[in-house]
């Protein structure tokens, strides 16, 4: 995980920008400086494209200014700093996520659809999996994402805290798988993985004592033959998702047959969460 995190800027100014034009907050007034040729939406769209191409390391105010054809200092008339920009960029990616209507489907299919939507998010924007959202961006994109994902657990008989716990567990799993998948894609592009195994495999065969490590040798060989590598991110995701759903079934299916659980009233609970 990189050191990047959301909600590291000034809360009042960042929230006003996040909710600009929605009626949910007043956008910051114009700052002093030359007449502005862009708007915040154009700045954010360019920043998303830059992050998609170059990752978070390439998302700097200087590079963004070059892409937009403006002076670096002029960007500060749109966003206060890079911390604020990161919140805007991630919330924009959340807002653009496809959201499947799973109304009426069994709960496992609804929850699996949420997992796949997040997986697609990280495929389109690999950098998003590297941003810590322990303090979420709290913008309209993140809020709509959370509202949509909670609906996957409607009718499951769980109280509000259990629903949030289940969703958190699911999204943490998908995020971890996304980081592994991104690393595997990078290694395949560079040829590092094949080269490493070509060099390390024969060396390992000479030193690895099958009598001392019988399980490691036997299981490792079987898994490598089955998956074509030491780790197959696609298989790990599919296998793990089914096991995760099996685990949630221990909560959901008994609760569906029990009396409806009381909801836990907690002010602004929905606004606290971000993934």
Q: What's the pLDDT tens digit per position in 51-82?
A: 999 999 999 999 999 999 999 999 999 999 99
Q: Pinpoint the residues of the chain covered by CATH 1.10.10.60.
A: 11-95
Could you give the 3-state DSSP secondary structure of residue 5? strand
Phi, psi of 211 (to 5 degrees): -75, -35
Question: Do residues 158 and 251 lie in contact, with contact meaning Cβ atoms separated by under 8 Å?
Answer: yes
- Per residue in 161-191, pLDDT tens? 999 999 999 999 999 999 999 988 887 777 6
The CA distance from 10 to 211, in Å, is: 60
The CA distance from 127 to 272, in Å, is: 22
- Per residue in 86-126, pLDDT tens? 999 999 999 999 999 999 999 999 999 999 999 999 999 99
The answer, yes or no, to whether residue 270 has pLDDT greater than 60, is: no
The CA distance from 67 to 58, in Å, is: 12
**Class in CATH terms, 11-95:** mainly alpha
How many angstroms separate the first and last alpha carbons of the chain? 14
**Class in CATH terms, 107-272:** mainly alpha
Question: Do residues 273 and 143 lie in contact, with contact meaning Cβ atoms separated by under 8 Å?
Answer: no
pLDDT at 269: 47
Residue 132 forms beta bridges with which residues? 5
Long-range contacts of 234-241 (CB under 8 A, 24+ apart): 234/181, 236/177, 236/180, 237/119, 237/174, 237/177, 237/181, 240/173, 240/177, 241/112, 241/115, 241/173
Tell me how crowded residue 126 is: count the other CB atoms within 10 A of its CB: 20
pLDDT at 265: 57
| Owner of token pair 């697609």 | 120
pTM score, whole prediction: 0.85
Tell me how crowded residue 224 is: count the other CB atoms within 10 A of its CB: 15
Per DSSP, the chain holds a count of helices (H) and strands (E) of 10, 0
Question: Do residues 170 and 119 lie in contact, with contact meaning Cβ atoms separated by under 8 Å?
Answer: no
The CA distance from 167 to 274, in Å, is: 11
Could you give the 3-state DSSP secondary structure of residue 132? strand
pLDDT at 30: 47
Residue 132 region by backbone torsions, left for phi larger than 0, else alpha for psi between -120 and 50, else beta:
beta
The CA distance from 22 to 16, in Å, is: 10
pLDDT at 264: 53
Q: Pinpoint the residues of the chain covered by CATH 1.10.357.10.
A: 107-272
């Amino acid at each position: 995980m990189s050191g990047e995190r959301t909600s590291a800027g000034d809360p009042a100014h960042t929230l006003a920008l996040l909710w600009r034009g929605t009626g949910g907050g007043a956008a910051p007034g114009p700052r002093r400086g030359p007449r502005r040729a862009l708007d915040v939406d154009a700045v954010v769209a360019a920043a998303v494209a830059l992050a998609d191409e170059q990752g978070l390391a390439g998302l700097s105010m200087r590079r963004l200014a070059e892409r937009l054809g403006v002076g670096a200092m002029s960007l500060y008339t749109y966003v206060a700093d890079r911390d604020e920009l990161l919140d805007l960029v991630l919330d924009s990616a959340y807002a653009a996520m496809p959201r499947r209507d799973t109304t009426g489907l069994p709960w496992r299919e609804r929850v699996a659809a949420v997992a796949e939507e997040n997986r697609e998010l990280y495929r389109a924007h690999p950098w998003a999996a590297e941003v810590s959202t322990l303090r979420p961006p709290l913008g309209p994109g993140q809020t709509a994402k959370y509202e949509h994902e909670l609906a996957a657990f409607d009718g499951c008989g769980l109280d509000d805290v259990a629903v949030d716990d289940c969703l958190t567990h699911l999204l943490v799993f998908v995020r971890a798988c996304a980081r592994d998948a991104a690393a595997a894609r990078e290694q395949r592009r560079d040829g590092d993985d094949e080269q490493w195994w070509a060099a390390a495999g024969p060396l390992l065969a000479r030193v690895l004592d099958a009598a001392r490590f019988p399980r490691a040798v036997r299981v490792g060989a079987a898994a490598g033959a089955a998956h074509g590598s030491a780790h197959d991110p696609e298989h790990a995701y599919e296998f793990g998702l089914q096991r995760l759903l099996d685990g949630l079934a221990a909560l959901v299916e008994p609760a569906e047959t029990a009396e409806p659980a009381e909801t836990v009233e907690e002010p602004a609970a929905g606004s606290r969460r971000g993934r």
